[in-house]
Amino acid sequence: MLLSYKNKDLLECGTDEAGRGCLAGPVTAAAVILPKDFTHPLLNDSKKLTSAQRALLRPVIEENAIAYKVVHLGLESIAKLNILGASIKAMQQAILGLQPLPEYVLVDGNRFSKNFEIPFECVVKGDGKYLNIAAASILAKTYRDELMQDLDQKFPEYGWKKNKGYPTKAHREAIVSHGISIHHRQGFKLLPTQKTLF
């Protein structure tokens, strides 16, 4: 069972990102402050849920959260900062976009900015340990998936409605057949035989 919080007496948020391993589209981060007594039987790491379960939980999280914020960072930021740097920046922007600001932050993963102005803790696989990180993982995932589904309408040949920009066999075959789009991360290893810039 996931924990409700780390610090009982502090206003605490969880943050997570989605899309870090994709070949196309933005990296998306979310930050969520949940009430200390919030619970839901389905709430868990977004990767362990079906798309239907995530869709059900998103409005529940948004309606019950004290505050939440979702941020997309696009190709320019990813190219400038690299994908890890862009992921961290997106999480920072999401946290600082919260009203009220949290007093403590639980960050999914093992890397963050050591100079961040709000006290924080990195939690490896935190989306499977804390409800606030799990909630952030669901918002980041659903908002990014929605954006990729919108892009799929303009670029249906890449199958983003299904693969969401991840490096599936079909996605890479589409890159070979159609070339890259304006939404592909050109510094990434888009094809197995291609050298990466990062």
Q: What is the pLDDT along the chain (198 residues), one digit of tens a residue?
A: 899 999 999 999 999 999 999 999 999 999 999 999 999 999 999 989 999 999 999 999 999 999 999 999 999 999 999 999 999 999 999 999 999 999 999 999 999 998 899 999 999 999 999 999 999 999 999 999 999 999 999 999 999 999 999 999 999 999 999 999 999 998 777 887 655 443
Q: Strand, helix or coil at 15? A: strand
- Here the CATH number for the domain that contains residue 132 is 3.30.420.10
Would you say how long the chain is, in residues?
198
Give the pTM: 0.94
Domain count, the chain: 1
- Is 2 domain-assigned? no
Closest CA to 19 of 7, 28, 11: 28
Burial of residue 108 (CB within 10 Å: 0-12, 13-18, 19+) is buried
Domain that holds residue 118: 12-178
- Is 45 domain-assigned? yes
